[in-house]
Chain A
Amino acid sequence: MKYLDVSALSLGERLKKREIGVREVTQAALSRIAKKDGEYRAYLSVFQEEALAQADAVQKQLDAGEAVSPLAGVPMALKDNICVKDLPTTCGSKMLERFCPPYDATVTNRLREAGAVMLGKLNMDEFAMGSTNETSYFGACKNPWDTGRVPGGSSGGAAAAVAAGEAYYTLGSDTGGSIRQPCSFCGVTGIKPTYGTVSRYGLVAYASSLDQIGPIARDAKDLAAVLDVIVGKDERDATSVTAGENRYLSSLTGEVKGLKVGIPSDYFGEGLEEEVKEKVLAAARKLEEMGATVEEFPMPMVEYAIPAYYIIASAEATSNLSRYDGIKYGFRAEKFDDLIDLYIQSRSQGFGMEVKRRIMLGNFVLSSGYYDAYYKKALQVKALIKGEFDRAFERFDLLLGPAAPTTALKLGESLSDPLKMYLGDIYTVSVNLAGLPGLVAPCGFDAQGLPVGMQLIGKPFGETVLLNAAHAYQLATDYHEKRPQEGGEGR
C-alpha cells in the first residue's frame, strides 16, 4: 500500500482531505507490524484495540473539521519508557514487565490531544542503558537494513520502527545519544531537543539531568511538526521551560545561505570509520555548495565527555532506579528471608547485567569519600564542556559531525565489551552534558549498504536552525527517502 511509505505530514494531509480513512491507515500499519515485526522486534506491545478506537475517534474529529494538528490521525508509537495510562510501560526490563502506570506522560497527553493514533510501545535497552538495544530483557531489536545487526540504542525500537515503516513517527528518549545513534544506524531522522524543551513528566527516569524526549521520523519536516505538538513548559516538570519559538514547522525555509557551520576537528580523529568520515564531510561540502560557510575548529574537551557522562548518568541512575525495590510494584522475588533479602533478591533477579553495572558504578562514585574525586569532578568537566560549546557558538550557527564512529554493529559484537560500547557514545554524550539540541539525519551509505548519519549540534533552543539545515539538505538529497529492502539479512 503506497501511503504506508509517505511522510507523517503528507499522510496527515491526505487524512485531512479525507482521501483515506484513519482506520484504514491504522489497520494497514497494524498489519505491517503483525507481518514484519516478528523479525525486527521493534515493538514490545501493540495496542490493537486501543489504536483502532483512537482511529475512529480522530476520524470523527476530522469529519467534523475539528482536528487542527497536521498530524491528526497519523499512526505513531512510543519508546517503552514513556507512560501511557493503563497500558504496559516496561522500560525493556523484567523489573517492570507487568507495570501499567495509572497516568499518561505529558507528551502522551499532548499527542492524544493532537489526534495521534498510538500503535504501541517500542523496544529499548533496559532502562535506556545501552547503545545496541541488546540489553532489552525482551530480546534485541534488529536493524531493518540488516537483521544480523543492531539498530543502535537505547531507542533502537523507535528508530527501527520508522525505518521499517511500522510507524510514521515515534518518540524516543536521549540521555547520551539514545535517539541520535540509532537514527544514524537505521537511516532515519531524529532530534534530541534542548534540555527542558520537552516535559519529562511520565518519562521513566534514567539520568534526570540529561534525559530528554525527542521525535524520530522520516525527515526533518516531520520532526518539526511533532515538536510543535510536544514542546512546551509543563507545570508537572519543574525543569521544563518555555522554549520561546514554538512554531517549528512554519519557520522552515529550506534555505542555508550564509549559515555558519563549524566542523569540530576532534570529532574526526582516531576511532572514526573512514567511510563514516567521508560521508559526513561530503554532507558538509553539500551544505557549502548550497551556500553555507564551513570551517574546521578544535574542540579538545570531547575527550573527557565519556567519563564525565558515565559518572553523572550512573550516579543519577543509581538513585532513580532505587525505587524498584520489590515493595510497591514491579518484580518481587518469590523467595526471600527478610526485608534486606527481599531487596537483594528482587533487584538481583529483576535487573539485567548492564543496569546492575551502572548501579554499582553510580553507588561507587557517590559513596562517602569518593564524591569529590568523581561526581564533583564530573560536574566540573560538564561545565568546561558547556563553556567550549558556548565559545564555538560565538562563531558558528551549528556544528556538524558524525553521530557514531561506525555504522550499525553486528549483533553481539559489543555486548561482551562494555567499554567499547561506552566509547561509541563519544560524539553524542557531550551534547547531553551541555544540554544542547542535536539532530541526526542520514547522509549516505557505507560499502555494505548500511546508513551513515550526520549530527547537527545547535545552540540552546536552536532547534529551528538544525531543523531548517536538515530540511534544506533533505530537499537537495534523497538519502532519507531510501528504505531497507524487506528481509535485509546478509546484505
Chain B
Amino acid sequence: MRYETVIGLEVHTELSTKTKIFCSCTTQFGGDPNTHCCPVCTGMPGTLPVLNRSVVEYAIRAGLATNCTITRLNKFDRKNYFYPDLPKAYQISQLYLPICQNGRVEIEGEDGGKSIRIKEIHMEEDAGKLVHEPYEDATLADYNRCGVPLLEIVSEPDFRSAQEVVAYLEKLKATLQYIGVSDCKMQEGSLRADVNISVRPAGQEEFGVRTEMKNMNSFKAVARAIEYESRRQVAVLEAGGRVIQETRRWDDEKGESFAMRSKENAQDYRYFPEPDLPPVEIGEDWIARVAGDLPELPDKKQKRYVQQLGLPEYDSRMITADKAMADFFEAAAALCQKPKEVANWIMGDLFRLLKEEGKEASELTLAPEGLANLIGLVDKGVINRNTAKTVFEVMFKTGVDPETYVKEQGLEMVSDQGAVEAVIRRVLEENPQSVADFRGGKEKAFGFLVGQCMKALKGKADPKLINAQLRQALTK
C-alpha cells in the first residue's frame, strides 16, 4: 500500500530583544551560569512579571510577515508543570488568545509553489538549562535563559514531505532574520522545531495517529527524523500494529528516535489566565506603524532581483534565502553597479568557500566594499580573472583590501607592451616544434604557447592581449 506522510510543525524562536520578556535582564547567549538573571526571572517569592513591549512589537512583525491576523486583545495564560529548569513551575504563555492567527507562508514545494497555513503564533518565556556534571554526578541549573522571549509558530498539518518542511524552515528562518526578530541559530537553540507526524494510506481523508518528535539540532536532522519516523510508522502499520500517540526524542548520531512519554502519561498543564499581567490591547495605529516599518521581505526581494537587476531565478532565490547574504549582495552591487558580476562571485566562489568553512553569511569577514573593489580591479584590467579568484580567497579568509593586497604581492597585470613582446619572442624561440606544429595547422599548439607565455609572466597578463599578440607574431 502507498502511504502519505502528514506533518505539522511547532517552531520556537528566541527573540533578539535586548532584555527578557518580563524583566530587564539581558538576553545575551552564553555568559557564566546564573549571571543573566534576577529575582523576577528566577521566580523568587513575591516578584512579578512586567511585559517587555518590544516582545509584542516583534510578535506583530512576525505575524504581519507571515500574513497573520493580529489579535487586538491579548492575554497571557499560565502553563503549569514541575521541572527544575522552570523556576516558577509555570511558564507564562498564551493559550486562549494568541497574538497572531491564521497566517500563511509560501514555499517552493516539489511540484512548484505551495502555501503552508500558520495556525497561530504566541508569545511565551523560555526555560533555563540543566547541565549534567559528570564528576559529581549532579545536575546543575543555569537560569540565564529563563525569561528569554520566545515565539511559538504553529503550522497546520500541511506538509507532505521532509523536503517541504525544510523549505518552510528555510523560508521562515529567512523571514524572521529579515524582520530582525531573531538570529535563528539552531546550534544555540534560538530556533527549534518540534515535528508532529503521522502517516495514512494514500487517498484516505482521516489523519493517522501522530507522534511528536523533539531534539533536532539542524534542518538536516529534521529531514532525517521525518524520514525515519514516517518509515517507522509505516512499518508498524504494515505489521498490523497501531501507532501510539507519544512524544519521541530524536538521536541524530544513532539516526533513530526513542519514545519519551505516551499520551496516557501526558502532563495536564492546568492552564488558566495569568493574573499578574493585564490584557494587552493592540490598536490599529500600532499595527499600521509596525507594518510601515517592515523591511522588504524575501519573496518581494527575490522578484525584484529578477525583474530589476536581471538575476537568474535560481541565483535570486539562493541569495535572498539569507538576509545577511542579500544585504551583502545589495551593498556590493550598489558600490560597483554590476549586480550580475556580484551575483556571479556569490554563486560561485563565495558559496563554495562558506560551505568549505562551514560558515554562514552573517559571519563573513569579507566586506561588500572589498568585492566591489575587486570587481573594479578586474574591470579596469589591473588584474585578470584568475588572479582575482586567488585574491578573493585571501580576502574571504582575512578580509584584506584587494587593492592593497594586489600592490603588495605585485599581482598587477603586465601592461608594458614591450615586456609582453619580449616574452613572446623568447617563448617562440624556445619552442620551435610547437611553432612549426601551429603553422602546420595544429591549433592545439597555440594553446600550449599561450600557456608558456602566461607562465613566463607569472599569470599576470591579460589573456586577451597575449592571444592577440601571439597570433600576430605567429602569422607574421
- A binding-site residues for B, Cβ under 8 Å: 81-83, 89, 91, 96, 99, 101-103, 105, 200-205, 207-209, 235-239, 315-316, 318-319, 322-323, 325, 327-329, 339, 343, 363, 366-368, 371, 375
Contacts and interface: CB of A to CB of B under 8 A. Distances in A.
A315 B272 contact: yes
- The B interface is mostly helix, strand or loop, or mixed, namely loop
B137 to A, nearest CB: 13
Interface size on B, as a range, is: 20 to 34
Contacts of A101: 39, 44-46
Contacts of B275: 207-209, 239, 316
B276 A238 contact: yes
B42 A328 contact: yes
B224 interface: no
Given A322-B80, A343-B82, A236 B48 contact: yes
Nearest to B83: A339
Given A328-B87, A363-B270, A367-B270, A323 B43 contact: yes
B239 to A, nearest CB: 33
Nearest to A330: B45
Interface string B36-72: 0001001111111111000000000000000000000
Contact of A103 (B47, B89, B276): B47
Given A322-B80, A323-B89, A368 B50 contact: no
A163 to B, nearest CB: 27
Given A96-B45, A105-B46, A327-B84, 17 more contacts: A82-B46, A83-B45, A103-B44, A200-B48, A205-B45, A205-B46, A205-B276, A207-B275, A319-B78, A319-B89, A322-B88, A322-B90, A323-B43, A323-B88, A343-B82, A366-B270, A366-B272
A239 B80 CA distance: 21
B280 to A, nearest CB: 10
Contacts of B42: 328
B45 A89 contact: yes
B435 interface: no
B270 A319 contact: yes
A327 B141 contact: yes
User: Can you list the 9 inter-chain pairs with the closest CB atoms, starting with the nearest?
Assistant: A322-B89, A209-B275, A366-B270, A208-B275, A204-B45, A202-B46, A204-B46, A368-B268, A83-B46
A209 B39 CA distance: 21
A375 B88 contact: no
A133 to B, nearest CB: 20
A410 B389 CA distance: 94
B47 A339 contact: no
23 contacts: A81-B46, A82-B46, A101-B39, A101-B45, A203-B46, A204-B45, A205-B45, A208-B276, A235-B50, A236-B48, A238-B276, A318-B270, A319-B89, A319-B272, A323-B45, A323-B88, A323-B89, A325-B84, A327-B87, A366-B271, A367-B268, A371-B271, A371-B272
Contacts of A329: 44
Nearest to A241: B278
A194 B48 CA distance: 19
B45 A103 contact: no
Contacts of B167: none
A81 B45 CA distance: 9
Given A323-B87, A325-B89, A327-B141, A239 B46 contact: no
Nearest to A91: B45
B243 interface: no
Nearest to A364: B270
Given A201-B47, A205-B46, A238-B49, A322 B82 contact: yes
Nearest to B42: A328
B277 interface: yes
A105 B268 CA distance: 33
A239 B48 CA distance: 10
B127 to A, nearest CB: 13
A156 B137 CA distance: 46
B220 to A, nearest CB: 33
A327 B46 CA distance: 17
Contacts of A103: 39, 44, 46-47
Contact of B82 (A83, A89, A239, A325): A325
Interface in B6-54: 39, 42-51
A320 to B, nearest CB: 9
A317 B45 CA distance: 12
Contacts of A237: 48, 50
A293 to B, nearest CB: 37
Interface in B179-206: none
B39 A102 contact: yes
Contacts of A83: 45-46
Q: Which of B51, B90, B268, B270 counts the most A-chain CB atoms under 10 A from its CB? A: B270
Contacts of B80: 318-319, 322, 366
A99 B88 contact: no
A209 B45 CA distance: 16
A89 B47 CA distance: 13
Contacts of A202: 46-47
A343 B86 CA distance: 13
A237 B43 CA distance: 14
Contacts of B278: 238-239
A434 to B, nearest CB: 15
Interface in B210-260: none
Nearest to B38: A103
A208 B50 CA distance: 14
Nearest to A201: B48
Contacts of A363: 270
Nearest to B139: A339
Contact of A238 (B43, B45, B88, B277): B277
A208 B88 CA distance: 14
A319 B47 CA distance: 14
A339 B276 contact: no
B255 to A, nearest CB: 29
Nearest to B84: A327
B290 to A, nearest CB: 22
A343 B89 CA distance: 11
B272 A375 contact: yes
Contacts of A322: 80, 82, 88-90
A343 B268 CA distance: 17
A236 B272 contact: no
A328 B78 CA distance: 20
Contacts of A91: 45
Contacts of B88: 322-323
Nearest to A235: B50
B117 to A, nearest CB: 26
Nearest to B90: A319
Nearest to A203: B46
Contacts of B49: 238
A105 B46 CA distance: 8
B193 to A, nearest CB: 26
A339 B85 CA distance: 12
Nearest to B280: A238
Contacts of A102: 39, 44
A368 B269 CA distance: 8
A328 B143 CA distance: 11
Contacts of B270: 318-319, 363, 366-368, 371
Nearest to B49: A238
A102 B141 CA distance: 19
A368 B80 CA distance: 12
B181 to A, nearest CB: 23
Interface in B70-114: 78, 80, 82, 84, 87-90
A208 B275 CA distance: 6
B74 to A, nearest CB: 13
A207 B275 CA distance: 9
Nearest to A200: B48
Interface in B390-426: none
Contacts of A318: 80, 270
A239 B270 CA distance: 23
Nearest to B268: A368
B50 A236 contact: yes
Query: Of residues B42, B43, B276, which shows the largest number of chain A Cβ atoms within 10 Å of its Cβ?
Result: B276
